[in-house]
Amino acid sequence: MNEFQDFSYDVIVVGSGAGGGMAAYTLTKAGHRVLMLEAGREYDPTTETPMFETVHQAPLRGVGTPDKDFGFYDATVDGGWTVPGEPYTTGPNSEFLWWRARMLGGRTNHWGRISLRFSPYDFKGYSMDGLGYDWPVDYAEMAPWYDETEKLVGISGNNPGLDDVPDSAPGVLQPTFKPRIPELLLKAAGNKLGIPVVPMRRAILSRPIDDRQACFNATSCGRGCSIGAAFQTTTSLLPLARATGNLKIVTDAMVKTVETDGNGRATGVTFIDRTSREDVTLKARVVILAASACETARLLLNSKSERFPNGVANSSGEVGRNLMDSTGAGIAGLVPGLSGRPRYNEDGNTGAHLYVPWWGHKQQLAGKLDFPRGYHFEYGSGFVSPRMQLGNFARGYGKELRDSVNKAYGAYVALSIRGEMLPNANCFMEIDDNTKDQWGIPVPKFHWKWSEHELSQIKHGLATAKKLIETMGGYTLGDPPPAERAIKKGGEIIHEVGTTRMGSSAKDSVTNHHGQCWDSNNLFVMDGGVFASNPHKNCTLTIMTMTMRNASWLATELNRGAL
Amino acid sequence: MSSNSDIIFSAIDDSLKNCVPAKQDNKTHRMSRRETLKWLSAVSATLTIPLTTPALAAERNIAKSDLVGSFAPWPKLDIKPVEAEGYGKDPKLVRPDTSPWPLTLTSEEKTKLTRLSDILIPESENFPSASAIGVPEMIDEWVSAPYPRQQRDRSFLIAGLEWLDYEAKRRFDDSFANCSENQQMEIVDDIAYSSEGTPPDLDTPTRFFAALRQLVAGIYYCTPEGTNDLGYIGNVPIVGDYPGPTTEALDHLDKLLNELGLTL
C-alpha cells in the first residue's frame, strides 16, 4: 500500500466524473482503497445549486456569456468552451470545441441525463456494414451490466420493444413521466408517418433511491440537482464511495503525467497542486485514467519515456486517433394549433418525456438509405420557463407586442438530431508542441472533418424533422439548410470519445476489452476514450456501464493478488 | 443542454442562422408563409446588427441645417467599450449578486429608453408597464456588461437613441424627449415595422427599434409580472408524480388531432 496524507491506497483514479466516479464506487465497495485526483475544485450540489432561482434574478437574465457559455446557472465551474490559462488548438481547416469543467463530478453535474443503452447493432457496427470497428464485447455480455448500472444510477423510462431500445430487465427502470400536449402531438404525427415516439430514458429519479429524492418536476437539470433526483456523481457515487471509508478525494490536483518503469509498468502519476503550483509524484499499484477522452489521451501522449517515446500505452500509435463526437443539428418550427392552448404546468422533469429513437436499421440493411448508422431526435416544446429569447417573438408595440409573444409562447417546437459518427482519419488529436497551458503542460491540438456519412445522415434528419413538423400542422422556419451548414462543429455536442479505443489486438487498439492498456497491464482507461464506436446514444450511460464491468473485473484481479 | 427550453431556443437560433427562406407560399399550409414570417419579423430584423464605426468623431450636437434628406442619417459615434470585469467563471449561483458591473447610460439616454420601453409595453388592464418593473435599468445593466454581444448591442442602441434625437430635431426642431407624444409616435411608427416599402434610410433605425423591442420584451417576460402575463405555471415543486396535462388541455388536443386527421 502507498500513502498520501496519511491515507493508504492501492489504486489512483484520475477524474471524478462518470468514469472516475463509477470506478471509485465499484472498487471501494469491493473493499479496495482508492485515491481520487480531481483537477477542479471541491463542489457540493446540496448547497451550490440554484434551485428555483429565476433568470430574472441572474445577471443579463441568465443568458450565455463567454464566462458561462450555457447560461449563468449552468453547473459548470471554471470551464465551458474555454478554461482560463488552459488553451487548446486546432489544425488547419479544423473547427473543434472542447467543453471542460474544473469541479468535483466534472461534467456529470450539468449533463442532459439522457441515458440510452446501446443495442446489439451498436456494438457490432463493423460486422453489419463494414465501417469503423466492432467493440471487443457484445450486447449479450453488456446487458446485465446495463441493468446493474441503470438500477444504481436510477433511470426513468420503459421498454417499448424496439430494436434500437433494448429491454432493461424487469424492475430495473423507474416509472416514466407523463407526456405533455406537444409531445402527444408529435407522437400522433409519428403514428401517421410510421416513426416511433416513445418515452425518453433519463437519469432522473421518479422514485427515491437511498438519500436521493424523486424529481419534484421543476427547475432545470443543467443547473445540477440539490435533491439528487438528477444523477451526478457528487450526490450519488462519490458520497457512497466516501461512506465506505475507502476513498480519499484530492481536489485541485491536475495530473500531468503517468509514471512508468523500464518494463512499461505504471508506477504512479505526477500532478500539479493548483494551490501551491508544486509537482507531487505519487506511487500506486494500479492507475485508472478517467479524465475524459481527450484529457486522458493528452496525459498518455505527454507521458514520454525511453520505453515509451510516443507516450505511454501508445505502441499502436492509436492514442488520440478515432476521435468521434455525435452529429448534431437542430430545426425549429411553429405549430399554430398549439397557439393559445390552455395553460397548465408543463415543466415536467424539464427535459423531454418522449423522443424519437432510430427506426431505420432494417431499411439500412435492405440498402434503402444512403447513409450508415442511426440518429435520434430530441424534442423541445412547451410552456417553458421564460427566457430572454422570448423577445424574438415580439413584434410591433403595445397590445400587438403582448399578443404576439403570448401567441408564440408554447407554440414553438424543435427537433434536435443526435447521430452516430464513424471514425475517420481526419478526426484526431495530438499534442501541440508549441503551446503549453499555465501549468506548463503541452496542450491538445484537434483535427476535424466530417465525412459524407455524417452529412448524408444530417440531410435525412432535417428532411424528416420538417416532415414531422408539417404533419403536426406546423412550419419549419424556412427550408432546412444544406447539411454542411446545419451540422454542429466537432466536439460541440460534447460526446467526444474514441481516443484510446479498446479492441481485440494490441496492434490497432490502446486497451483490451477491460480497458486495460495493452502496453501496461496495471494502467486502465475508464472513460469515453475506450469507445470503439460512437452510437447515436449519448455516451455517459455506457461510460458508467463499461466502467462498472471493468472495475468489477479489476477488483477480482486485485483480490487474487494479480497486478 | 437538453432541457426543453435549451432545445427550443438553440434550434430557433440554428434555424434563423441557417435555414433557407422558402420561395413561395405553399397553399396546403394552414397559415400563409407570409403570416409565419410576420411572427418572426422581429427576429430576422435583429440578426444583422451593424457596428457603428468607432473611429469617427462624436457628432452628438448635430445642427438642424446638417440634417438634409428625407430622414436623419445614422449617427457616427465614438462609443468607448466598457472596461468593467465580468462575473467570472465561478460566480455565486445561489441568490446571485445583482448588478455585477457599474451602469453606464446617461440620464438623457435613460429618459429616452424609459419612454420607448413604455411605448413597447405600456401599462395594461392587468399588467404593469415595462418601466414600472425596472426594464430600462435592466437594459442599462445589459449594455454595461463587458461581453462581446452586449457591447455590440451597446454601440447599436446608443446610436439608435441618438438617431431619435437627430430625427426629432429634423422633423420637429426639438429633442425626442421634448417632443409631444404624438410627435414621438410619428417617428416610432416609421421604424416599428419592417416591410418591402421601408425606405433604405430607415433600414438601420428599423433594425434598432427591433433590437430594442427584442430586449425590452425579453427582459419583461422574464420578470415575475411578465411571466404571469404569459400564463406560465411552474417552477414549483410537485408532490408525487407529474400529473400531466389537464382535462381542458387534453380536450384542446383532441380537437386539434381531429382537425389534422391524426390519432394517438
Instruction: Match 437560433 to its residue by C-alpha cell.
Output: B13
Q: How far is A540 from chain B (nearest CA, A)?
A: 14
SS3 A282: strand
Cα separation of A215 and B101, whole Å?
Answer: 36
Kindly report the backbone phi and psi dihedral angles of residue B179, in degrees, each rounded to the nearest multiple of 5, phi listed first. -70, 160
B143-177 pLDDT, tens digit each:
999 999 999 999 999 999 999 999 999 999 999 99
Q: State whether A480 and B39 contact (CB < 8 Å).
A: no
- Of chain B, the percentage scoring pLDDT greater than 70 comes to 82
Q: Which residues numbered 169-228 in B keep a CB inside 8 Å of some CB on A?
A: 188, 192-193, 213-219, 221-224, 226-227
Q: State whether A181 and B250 contact (CB < 8 Å).
A: yes
So what's the pLDDT on residue B52?
Answer: 36
So what's the pLDDT on residue B60?
Answer: 54
Q: Does B87 touch chain A (CB under 8 A)?
A: yes
Q: Does B84 touch chain A (CB under 8 A)?
A: no
Is pLDDT of B55 > 50?
Answer: no
Neighbours of A429 (CB within 10 A): 29
So what's the pLDDT on residue B98?
Answer: 76
**Contact yes or no for A537/A116 (Cβ under 8 A):** yes
**Contact yes or no for A35/A251 (Cβ under 8 A):** no
Q: How far is B214 from chain A (nearest CA, A)?
A: 4
Residue B109 counted as domain residue: yes
Q: How far is B82 from chain A (nearest CA, A)?
A: 15
* Local confidence band at B62 (pLDDT 50, 70, 90 cut-offs): low
So what's the pLDDT on residue A304?
Answer: 96
What is the distance of C-alpha A424 from the center of its chain? 20
**Contact yes or no for A95/A69 (Cβ under 8 A):** no
Assigned C-alpha cell, A349: 422533469
Residue B7 counted as domain residue: no
DSSP string, A286-311: EEEE-S-HHHHHHHHHH---SS-TT-
Residue B90 counted as domain residue: no
So what's the pLDDT on residue B196?
Answer: 84
Mean pLDDT of A393-401: 96
A26-41 pLDDT, tens digit each:
999 999 999 999 999 9
So what's the pLDDT on residue B3?
Answer: 81
Cα separation of A516 and A521, whole Å?
Answer: 6
* Local confidence band at B27 (pLDDT 50, 70, 90 cut-offs): very low
So what's the pLDDT on residue B43?
Answer: 42
Assigned C-alpha cell, B183: 410627435
Mean pLDDT of A42-54: 97
User: Who has greater pLDDT, B54 or A504?
Assistant: A504
Partners of A101 on chain B (C-beta within 8 Å) are: none
Is pLDDT of B138 > 60?
Answer: yes
So what's the pLDDT on residue B32?
Answer: 43
A54-76 pLDDT, tens digit each:
999 999 999 999 999 999 999 99
Q: How many domains does chain B have?
A: 1
SS3 A357: coil
Q: What is the domain range of residue B168?
A: 49-59+68-85+100-228
Contacts of A56 (CB under 8 A, 6+ apart): B222, B223, B224, B227
Closest-CA residue of chain B to A77: B90
Q: Give the sign of the dihedral formed by CA A72, CA A76, CA A81, CA A82.
A: positive
Q: How far is A554 from chain B (nearest CA, A)?
A: 34
Q: How far is B255 from chain A (nearest CA, A)?
A: 10
A442-478 pLDDT, tens digit each:
999 999 999 999 999 999 999 999 999 999 999 998 8
Is pLDDT of A563 > 90?
Answer: no
Closest-CA residue of chain A to B138: A60
Q: State whether A473 and B91 contact (CB < 8 Å).
A: no
* Local confidence band at B69 (pLDDT 50, 70, 90 cut-offs): confident
Partners of B90 on chain A (C-beta within 8 Å) are: 41, 77-78
So what's the pLDDT on residue B195?
Answer: 83
Q: Give the sign of the dihedral formed by CA A296, CA A301, CA A304, CA A306.
A: positive
Strands A89-90, A442-447: pairing kind? parallel
User: Nearest CB to A401: which of B5, B19, B121?
Assistant: B121
A128-156 pLDDT, tens digit each:
999 999 999 999 999 999 999 999 999 99
Cα separation of A332 and A420, whole Å?
Answer: 21
Q: Does B232 touch chain A (CB under 8 A)?
A: yes
- What is the rounded average pLDDT for all residues in chain B? 85
Q: What is the DSSP letter of A551?
A: H
Q: State whether A397 and B256 contact (CB < 8 Å).
A: no
Residue B8 counted as domain residue: no
Q: How far is A76 from chain B (nearest CA, A)?
A: 8
Is pLDDT of B131 > 70?
Answer: yes
Mean pLDDT of A235-243: 98
A332-349 pLDDT, tens digit each:
999 999 999 999 999 999
Q: Does B246 touch chain A (CB under 8 A)?
A: yes
So what's the pLDDT on residue B56?
Answer: 34
User: Nearest CB to A184: which of B226, B229, B253?
Assistant: B253
Q: How far is B179 from chain A (nearest CA, A)?
A: 19
Partners of A57 on chain B (C-beta within 8 Å) are: 95-96, 98
Nearest one of A497, A445, A490, A494 to A96, comparing CA atoms: A490
* Local confidence band at B97 (pLDDT 50, 70, 90 cut-offs): confident
Is pLDDT of B25 > 80?
Answer: no
Residue B144 counted as domain residue: yes
Partners of B4 on chain A (C-beta within 8 Å) are: 348, 350-352, 380-382, 384
* Local confidence band at B10 (pLDDT 50, 70, 90 cut-offs): confident
Is pLDDT of A24 > 80?
Answer: yes
Neighbours of A11 (CB within 10 A): 28
CA distances A45 to A49, A229, A234, B235, Å, are 5, 11, 7, 19
DSSP string, A236-280: THHHHHHHTT-EEEE-SEEEEEEEE-TTS-EEEEEEEETTTTEEE
**Contact yes or no for A42/A104 (Cβ under 8 A):** yes
Q: Does B150 touch chain A (CB under 8 A)?
A: yes
**Contact yes or no for A332/A465 (Cβ under 8 A):** no
Contacts of A353 (CB under 8 A, 6+ apart): A176, A177, A178, A179, A180, A183, A199, A200
So what's the pLDDT on residue B51?
Answer: 35
Assigned C-alpha cell, A468: 414531422
Q: Does B145 touch chain A (CB under 8 A)?
A: yes
